[in-house]
Amino acid sequence: MPTRPVSPHLSVYKMSRYTLATSIFNRFTGVGLSLGLLLLVYWLMAVADGAHAHARAARLLSHPLAKLLYAALIIAFCYHLVAGIRHLVWDTGRGLERAQSRRSAWLVVAVSLALILLIVYGAWFAGARAS
């Protein structure tokens, strides 16, 4: 390991900066969604292995702790989606001024919160329909 300072050193930044917070949360949720992919493929493989394997997987996937995981995945998905679109807008060269960037940071939080509520609402209705 090099003895020179190696970027990015998380410990030297002010964590309260919205620029840092929105950026690191985008990364954090991205890694979380990667783990979600593992879960998705586990489920798909169980479906492919027939009703028996699916029932066994469904028991595991409907554990109360798994529901906590789905809540985290919904939050991660909504934030990563909206923050990713913000990045795509930046890539066109727009919205990079400090005032615009601060405004879009709040917009990302607001829109992802709205999306989270929408999905939870949809999931609640789907659950009511299934039972």
Partner 1 sequence: MSLRSPLGRVLGLGAAKDGVQHWWMQRLTSVALVPLSIWFVVSLLALPALDHPAVVAWMSHSWTALLLVIFVLTATWHSQLGVRVVVEDYVHGAGSKTVTLVIVTFTHVLIAAAGVFAVLRVAFGRAP
* Shortest distance, position 111 Cβ to partner 1, whole Å: 13
> Rule CB under 8 A: which of 10-69 touch partner 1?
27, 30-31, 33-34, 37-38, 40-41, 44-45, 47-48, 50-51, 54-55, 58
2: contact with partner 1 by CB under 8 A: yes
The number of residues making up the chain comes to: 131
Tell which residue, 54, 29, 36, 35, has the closest CA to residue 44: 54
How many CB atoms are closer than 10 A to CB 53? Answer: 13
What are phi and psi for residue 49, nearest 5 degrees? Answer: -90, 5
Cβ atoms of 111 and 82 closer than 8 Å = yes
* Interface residue list for partner 1 (CB under 8 A): 1-2, 6-8, 27, 30-31, 33-34, 37-38, 40-41, 44-45, 47-48, 50-51, 54-55, 58, 77, 81, 84-85, 87-88, 91, 119, 122-123, 125-126, 129-130
